[in-house]
Amino acid sequence: MRNIKLVLEYDGTNYNGWQIQPNQPTVQATVENALAKLTKTPIQIIGAGRTDSGVHAEGQVANFHTTAQMPLIAFQKGLNATLPRDIVVCSATEVPAAFHARFSATSRRYRYTILNRAYPSALSRMTSHFYPEAIDVNSINDLCQILIGKQDFSAFQKTGSDRLNPVCEVDEAYWWQKNPYIYFEIEADAFLRGMVRAIVGTLLKCIKCQDAETELRRILEARDRSIAGMSAPAHGLSLISVKYNDKTYANPALTDNRKVFVENRTEN
């Protein structure tokens, strides 16, 4: 039995999230159907992040077990020939039997993209959130320092979530700019459902307050979703990479560009 790891890129617009749901199009179901056609046997695939409806991925990691003996390149090319064009396999590698895309992950990184100018875009309307109001990147980055570390993020958990432990450890959280876009990136050991979009909406809300730092701390300490900001729209969010034992897996075509962008981001 082989254990195959995939790195996937997908546009989540037409899917009701990653995880299989009855009578709904999902990324997981679509990939599993393609694998079944390719290997002639049912296969269950495990994803590192359960992205919500409309959320994208540039570096989703998944794995599956199979007895199929085809070469790895055949998995990549065969899946890309079978999958719809809004889902792409960036790489396929063989990993140890114990590797589990979700439970072996030590952290995940998400990016939220905001189009920050006076008029919207026809081309990036499904991958960025149009926000015409000015954003002071340096000031909002000061607020992000409050998010760093291990703490209870109940204030940013989607209502109705069944997760019992709301404590997450955020390693990085910062905004950077490449006009006309502003990006928010956050990496943590775990994420609550809807957490990133709730954080983005709350930071944009707090930055308008007279004492933004006090307001953000009040929201965190209250642990009450109803007093935080509105969630930013799903289509601006993307899972960009997953880390395992200090090794990060992402779409290899994007890694170099991202490094240049981050090095040139607006610093505090």
Question: Considering only CA atoms, which of 174, 186, 144 is closest in space to residue 265?
Answer: 174
Total residue count of the chain as it appears in this document: 268
Catalytic residues: 52
Measure the CA–CA gap between 235 and 200, rounded to whole angstroms: 13
Tokens of 203: 């930071």
Measure the CA–CA gap between 219 and 211, rounded to whole angstroms: 13
| Inter-residue long-range contacts of 124-132, CB under 8 Å, 24+ positions, other chains counted | 125/235, 126/11, 126/13, 126/235, 127/11, 127/56, 127/235, 127/236, 127/238, 128/181, 128/235, 128/236, 129/232, 129/233, 129/235, 129/236, 131/204
CA quadruple 83, 14, 86, 254: dihedral positive or negative? negative
